Amino acid sequence: MDLTELYQSVILENNRRPRNFRKLPDANRVAAGNNPVCGDELTVYVRLEDGRIADISFEGAGCAISQASASVMTQRLKGRTIAEAEALFGRFKDIVTQGVPDEEDLDLSAFAGVHQFPARIKCATLGWHAALNAIHGEAATATTE
C-alpha cells in the first residue's frame, strides 16, 4: 500500500502542529494514557461543565498517529456532551478497526488507513481512552496494552 494511506495529510499536519497542545489551567478532569510498546505517553485535560466538555487539551509525546489522533479528538470533542463524546469514540473505533470512512466526518476518516496496520490501532485510540477516562473521572492511567 501507499504510505500516504496511513499518513494522510490531516495526520501529518496535526502531528506537526498539534491543536490544543497545552495544559488546561482550569481543568477539573485529568487522565494520562500510555502505550508501553511504543513509549507513547500523553495527558488529557478536560473542563467539564454541566455534563458538557467546555474545554479540552492534551500534551505528551508519541508517534504521529497518537499525536494527530489526540489533536483531532480535542477539536471534535469540544462542546460535546458525555453521551455525544462516547458515540463519537464508537464511530472512531469503527473507522480505525474496519477502515470504513465516515463521509460526514473527514477528519476522523483520515485515520481509516490505520486498520491495515493492526499494531497502530492502539496508537490511534490512546488519546480517546484517556479522554473518556478523564470524563468518567477514572483516575487510573489508560493503557492500550
d(CA 19, CA 99): 24
**Chain residues 86-145 in contact with other proteins, contact rule CB under 8 A:** 117, 120, 123
d(CA 59, CA 118): 24
Shortest Cβ 39–other proteins spacing (Å): 4
Question: What are the φ/ψ torsions at residue 126 (nearest 5 degrees)?
Answer: -55, -50
- Scanning 1-9, 44-52, 105-113, 129-137 for contacts with other proteins by CB under 8 A, the matching segment is 1-9
**Chain residues 55-94 in contact with other proteins, contact rule CB under 8 A:** 61-65, 67
Contacts with 12 (C-beta within 8 Å, 6 or more apart), sequence order: 64, 68
Q: Which residues bind other proteins (CB under 8 A)?
A: 1, 3, 6-7, 12, 15-18, 37-41, 61-65, 67, 117, 120, 123
